[in-house]
Amino acid sequence: MKSRIPAVAAALGLAVAGCTVNMHGDHSRKTETASIERPKAELVDVTVAMAAGEMELSGGSSKLMEGTFTYTAGGNTAPEVHYEDSSFRGRLSVRNKSKTAFGNNHVNRWEIKLADDVRMDLNVSLGAGESRLNLGSLTLRSARVQVGAGQVDLDLRGPKKSSCDVEIRGGVGEATVWVPNDVGVVAEARGGIGEVSVRGLTRDGGRWTNDAYGKSPVTLRLDVKGGIGQINIRAE
């Protein structure tokens, strides 16, 4: 069942189901916050798509999501945030309302925190800019990250209660992926025109593994395909 969308959220360009929204700023730069309460659903599909800008995505929220969005008035617009809840599967979407300007004195910065203990399938799509994705504390069933033209730091280190499939697709930018040593890790990596660089894992045929692979009850499975840019996999 889709939750009711607050009128104030729609007026601000944040079409958010079951959330609170606040706004402050001056004539040139605005900051909006949005939060979504904890879901009824056992599993939540989370989609975060940014055309251009700076993003920090992490766990640590006491709610399903807490977000702070800063943008230049007249240049960038706040993202649209939608949430639908049901008894089994919820759907959360945070995405640009339209392609937005970035750089040349324009700002588009998202800071998003998600709940650590809610089971999720996460899909992140990134354009130009710089992104830091600290996903190690989240309870992920799967994650898919599409790298655009920017620079991405993806950290998967942290406590793991269950296995997870992670798919990474490179664009023209550079992505560095940090993986843990205390759970099993197996990575299949293929380069495009760019390069895939792996450090801290052992080559095993067409894949890379760590010492815990096959011994740990939890396995992190990476499927990496490079584009024009470079993808670095680092085990620590």
Instruction: Find the mean pLDDT for residues 30-49.
Output: 93
Q: Where are the domains of the chain?
A: 1-42+51-117, 147-236
CB 16 within 8 A of CB 83: yes
Most confident of 23-37, 55-69, 165-179: 55-69
Say whether 12 sits in a helix, a strand or coil. coil
- pLDDT digit string, tens, across residues 92-101: 999 986 655 5
Contacts of 74 (CB under 8 A, 6+ apart): none
pLDDT classification of 116: cutoffs 50, 70, 90: very high
Q: In whole angstroms, what is the distance from residue 89 CA to residue 234 CA?
A: 33
* 227 compared with 121, residue with greater pLDDT: 121
Of 61, 64, 128, 63, which Cα lies nearest the Cα of 93? 64
pLDDT at 71 over 90: no
- pLDDT digit string, tens, across residues 144-159: 999 988 899 999 999 8
174-179 and 80-84 as β-strands: parallel, antiparallel, unpaired?
unpaired
CB 231 within 8 A of CB 168: yes
Mean pLDDT across the chain, nearest whole number?
Answer: 85
Q: How far is CA 85 from the centre of its chain?
A: 20
- pLDDT digit string, tens, across residues 188-202: 988 776 688 899 999
> Residue 157: what are its φ and ψ, rounded to 5°?
-75, 145
What residue spans of 67-209 are helical by DSSP H?
none
Tokens of 145: 């990250």
pLDDT classification of 170: cutoffs 50, 70, 90: confident
For the chain, the C-alpha Rg in angstroms (whole number) is 18
Q: In whole angstroms, what is the distance from residue 188 CA to residue 209 CA?
A: 9
CB 48 within 8 A of CB 64: no
pLDDT at 129 over 50: yes
Provide, rounded to the nearest whole percent, the portion of the chain with pLDDT above 70: 82
pLDDT at 208 over 50: yes
pLDDT given for residue 13 in this prediction: 41
pTM, rounded to two decimals? 0.86
∠ at Cα 228 (223, 232), nearest 5°? Answer: 50
